Amino acid sequence: MKFSAQLDVNMVAVEATDEVSLLLDLQSPAAATDEDRASATLQVVLDRSGSMSGGPLQGAIEALCGLVARLDERDNFGVVVFDDAAQVVVPAGLLTNKERVLHQLQQIVPGGMTDLSGGYLRGLQELKRAAAGGGGTLMLISDGHANAGVTDPMHLEKIAAQASGDRIVTTTLGYGLGYDESALSALARGGSGNHHFAEDPDRAGAAIATEAGELLAKSVQAASLLITMEPSVSLLKLYNDLPSTQLGDGKVMVEIGDFYSSERRKLLVRLAVPAMAGLGLAQIASLELRYVELPGLVEQVVTLPVQVNVVPGDEAAGRVADPTVQTEVLFQEAQQAKKEASEALERGDRTTAATLLTGAEDFLGLAMQAAPAEMQSDIAKESFDVGSMKDRASWDDVSRLSKDTRASFHERNRKRGRD
């Protein structure tokens, strides 16, 4: 993988505490040709509760049939459905008989309650059995609130994070306006996957097709970043809402997840730098990127040092922040405001949401002033989208807007930088 790091300021004043922002840029290698690609494993967990009856369930089934058409006999595929109980409809395994699988999908009918955790756990069992340690993707599709089994979003996130340790990515698709965006977003966060919102069958089909495309073009699995800080340096903030673990001794592990072919991602962190007495270059942290490259399943490690130049105070006073990093900081502050607005809308609080989205607009306005020419179109588009969300806060369905803002936050924060 290509891996680079850039500071907003690369010099600090001698004997003065300071803070620096560090922008990381990652790009995965191109995937192998279709003939040489690794086999893929996809486990679908489909909500068939009563609220899915009619168009939603039929639309999901049709989209899954289209997905089956894109896979081939080297790929593992399985389907678990759930209402108040989980049921294996397509046992996970090699896709050697597509006609039979298509027939099994067409036999799915709506049922009763929504035991999301039961369906998810049964899907994980199936995926692990078929993948035999090779990892894979679990895609959970639901239109409702979990009302049986495990319902707490934090607990669901922990389950997904444990599965991520076995190279299992959890992606979620929220269907319609009735699903619990907090629960589905938490599963995707813990599982290092994507979170999609689809209000109708067409958008659901597009999201499922996107997941299939990413699965078949995957070139990297289980990417993680170990940040090791020098004594007295501390991590103030990880701007990207990714699973992270404090390991002690100044070490923080960040789970990044899988990459598709030539995919680019950006991560942003802020570090507190202690007062340093000596002039010259000083290392404040080291970065270790670890990942599994496909199709050979070879683990790779890339390391980078992070250094600052310690200079006299009058020299540091004249420093100018790097516009690319400065712009990214402002952009991510806007994303945080967007997430908080989504949470306010989920509570039905339009006023607070509008205020937060106004704040996000302000951050983006400052970002536009700082942005280098190549970043301005991206900032302008985001500013337009946030302005539209702010306007909608006064009249649109709060559930729809909450889901839109949450999905947008996921794309622009957790998966920042991807095409």
Among the candidates 216, 246, 277, a domain finishes at 216
The helix-helix angle for 55-70 and 201-216 (nearest 10°) equals 20
CA distance 193 to 379: 24
Q: For tokens 């495309």, what's the residue?
A: 213
Among the candidates 216, 245, 279, a domain finishes at 216
Total domains in the fold of the chain: 3
CA distance 397 to 403: 10
pLDDT digits over 364-401, tens only? 999 999 999 999 999 999 999 999 999 999 999 999 99
pLDDT > 80? residue 89: yes
pLDDT digits over 32-83, tens only? 777 777 788 999 999 888 778 787 888 888 889 988 988 999 999 999 998 8
Strands (E), 180-321: 192-198, 218-229, 234-238, 244-248, 251-260, 264-273, 280-293, 298-311
Say if residue 396 is in the same domain as residue 279. Answer: no
Say if residue 174 is in the same domain as residue 267. Answer: no
Say if residue 10 is in the same domain as residue 100. Answer: no
Beta bridge partners of 4: 25
pLDDT digits over 194-204, tens only? 999 988 888 88
Say if residue 224 is in the same domain as residue 209. Answer: no
CA distance 159 to 156: 5
- Please count the other Cβ atoms lying within 10 Å of the Cβ belonging to residue 100: 11
What are the distances in angstroms from CA 387 to CA 96, 177, 196, 355, 370?
49, 22, 21, 11, 19
Say if residue 255 is in the same domain as residue 295. Answer: yes
Say if residue 77 is in the same domain as residue 205. Answer: yes
Q: What is the pTM of this model?
A: 0.89
**Domain presence at residue 36:** no
Among the candidates 290, 314, 338, a domain finishes at 314
CATH number at residue 333: 1.20.120
CA distance 120 to 336: 29
User: DSSP letters of 108-156?
Assistant: ----S---HHHHHHHHHHHHHHHHTTS-EEEEEEESS---SS---HHHH
CA distance 250 to 306: 14
Say if residue 270 is in the same domain as residue 403. Answer: no
Q: What residue numbers bound the domain in which 123 lies?
A: 41-216
CA distance 325 to 341: 24
Nearest to 159 by CA among 113, 117, 114: 117
CA distance 269 to 238: 5
Say if residue 77 is in the same domain as residue 188. Answer: yes
Which pLDDT belongs to residue 390?
Answer: 96
Say if residue 165 is in the same domain as residue 65. Answer: yes
pLDDT > 90? residue 251: yes
Element of type H or E holding 211: helix 201-216
**Domain presence at residue 266:** yes
- CA 201 from chain centre, in angstroms, equals 23
Say if residue 69 is in the same domain as residue 197. Answer: yes
Which pLDDT belongs to residue 347?
Answer: 93
CATH number at residue 147: 3.40.50.410
Say if residue 86 is in the same domain as residue 206. Answer: yes
Q: Which two tokens stand for residue 223?
A: 């990417």
CA distance 317 to 329: 21
Q: For tokens 């599963």, what's the residue?
A: 187
